[in-house]
Amino acid sequence: MLTVDRDRPTTSAGRISKVETLTLGTAWRDFSYVRIHTDEGLTGIGEITHPFRPRETCLLAEAMGERHLLGADPFDVTEIALRMFQGDYFRGGDLGGIVASGVDQALYDIMGKALDVPVYRLTGGAVRDSVPVYANGWYTGERTEEGFARKASEVVARGYRGLKFDPFGAGLGQLSTAELDESMRLVGAVRQAIGPDVELFIEGHARFSFPTAMAITRELAPFGISWFEEPMPWTHIERYHEIREAASFPISGGEHFHNRYEYQRLFDTKAVDIVQPDMSMAGGFTEIKLLAQLADMNGMLVAPHNSNSPLCTTASVHLTLGLVNLKILETFDGMVEPHVFDALRGVLPVENGRVGLPTAPGLGVELVDEVFDANPPSYGFWNMFAPGWEERTRS
């Protein structure tokens, strides 16, 4: 493993002196963060939310801090990423990938503050003045054509020009004819409600058998969708190209992969048209910039996955401002409770379906500890393959 002399002179950021984690409770899920301090008084934050394992992710972040971060110069992002990857001897996976991603975000936050520039200035600058975003999480409530149509119209009325939803209920593996028909009626109702000019993205949640995925692909053809996301489990990645070849619209996916090495099979098999790395799962700024370049080499667009908090949205905007092959960015910001915004002071707002150019140094966000204290995590669980999962309430 490469090593760095940690006694050499440091940058103005100083050296990392403390690593801590905080978790915020909400009705849907717990949001977790890592906060890194330096001996020059700077702090940086990153999102390490895991939908089901917040305790384990926070413990790993704190342990990695002790093993690999204390005493390091936060500007040595490449060496720190290598140290965590090789030093902990992990080859990806959700816990390690999430921790590495959050740490990377926090290091860039510190660097931006030390240099008094927004993070996007450190990752190649901007090729656009704002980032288009689409809404997810809007379709909680009764699973009816009328209910989905009404809520979709409300999303469009708020200025969004794209929205995504999963119309398949608790379907897993195969769908009966009745279940498929009901799902397509929901898609048709939403499309009719939002009109032909608003982009519609359909989520498959990586759960259908090949015959069912192919049947859904055929049924979706009349609705003018902008992609069908993760039609099959990634254990069947070699068959994704067959869905692509049969579809009249793009196939997307990739949120479950945590670094370029896991993505290699996706690129090699030409599995999708649009890749969806997550800023808080696939290695943060350092790794996803590389993934976007690899996607570009393969003629693929990038539409980052983001089912996390508004901090991940803000970090993702800093990244995507500079991606030449960006399609659009996901956001759940419209469904989170007000106290989440109180806890994350300075997150970038969504306005008319876009997020504008940041101006504050670093990520521009600070964690408000008092709000975290008032909203502790519940460590609950919601099963997205159980009836009513779209309510996003926890047991």
Number of domains in the chain: 1
CA-nearest of 142, 143, 252, 276 to 200 is: 252
**Pair type for strands 274-275 and 31-38:** unpaired
Does 271 fall in a domain? yes
Residue 335: predicted pLDDT: 87
Per-residue pLDDT, 385: 76
Place of tokens 């049969």: 246
Q: What is the mean pLDDT of residues 203-227?
A: 97
C-beta separation of 365 from 359 below 8 A? no
Q: What pLDDT, on the 0 to 100 scale, is given for residue 51?
A: 87
Confidence of residue 89 (pLDDT cuts 50, 70, 90): low
Average pLDDT over residues 335-346: 96
Average pLDDT for 370-386: 87
Amino acid identity for residue 36 in this structure: I
Query: Are 332 and 307 contacting, i.e. CB atoms less than 8 angstroms apart?
Result: yes
CATH of the domain at 282: 3.20.20.120
CB pairs under 8 A, 24+ apart, for 342-346? 342/368, 342/371, 343/24, 343/367, 343/368, 343/371, 343/372, 343/375, 344/309, 344/310, 344/311, 344/368, 346/314
Grade residue 1 by pLDDT with cuts at 50, 70 and 90.
Answer: very low
pLDDT at 384: 74
Q: Which two tokens stand for residue 82?
A: 């290598």
Residue 182 pLDDT class (50, 70, 90 cuts):
very high
The CB density around residue 217, as the number of other CB atoms within 10 Å, is: 22
User: Is residue 301 one of the residues assigned to a domain?
Assistant: yes
Q: With the C-alpha atoms ordered 96, 280, 256, 26, is the resulting torsion angle positive or negative?
A: positive
This prediction has a pTM of 0.94
Q: Determine the average pLDDT of the residues in 289-293.
A: 97
Q: How confident is the model at residue 9 (pLDDT cuts 50, 70, 90)?
A: low
Confidence class for position 87, pLDDT limits 50, 70, 90: confident
- In 3D, which of 316, 266, 255, 286 has the Cα closest to residue 94? 255
Query: Is 148 a member of any domain?
Result: yes
* Host H or E run for residue 312: helix 310-320
Residue 187 lies in a domain: yes
Domain span at residue 201 reads 121-363
101 occurs within a structural domain: no
Is 94 in contact with 258 (CB distance < 8 Å)?
A: yes
Tell me whether residue 346 is in a domain: yes
The per-residue pLDDT for 302 is 98
Evaluate whether residue 166 is within a structural domain.
Answer: yes
Nearest alpha-carbon partner for 3 in 62, 87, 103, 75: 87
Give the integer Cα–Cα distance in Å for 32 and 377. 9
Contacts of 211-220 with CB under 8 Å at 24 or more apart are 211/174, 212/173, 212/174, 212/175, 213/243, 214/242, 214/243, 214/246, 215/175, 215/180, 216/168, 216/175, 216/180, 216/183, 217/243, 217/246, 217/247, 218/246, 219/180, 219/184, 220/184, 220/187, 220/249
Alpha carbons 110 and 211: distance in angstroms, whole number = 49
- Given a cut of 70, whether residue 8 has pLDDT beyond it is no
Task: Classify residue 299: in a domain, yes or no.
Answer: yes
Render pLDDT for 122-179 as a digit per residue (tens, 0 to 9). 999 999 999 999 999 999 888 899 999 999 999 999 999 999 999 998 888 999 999 9
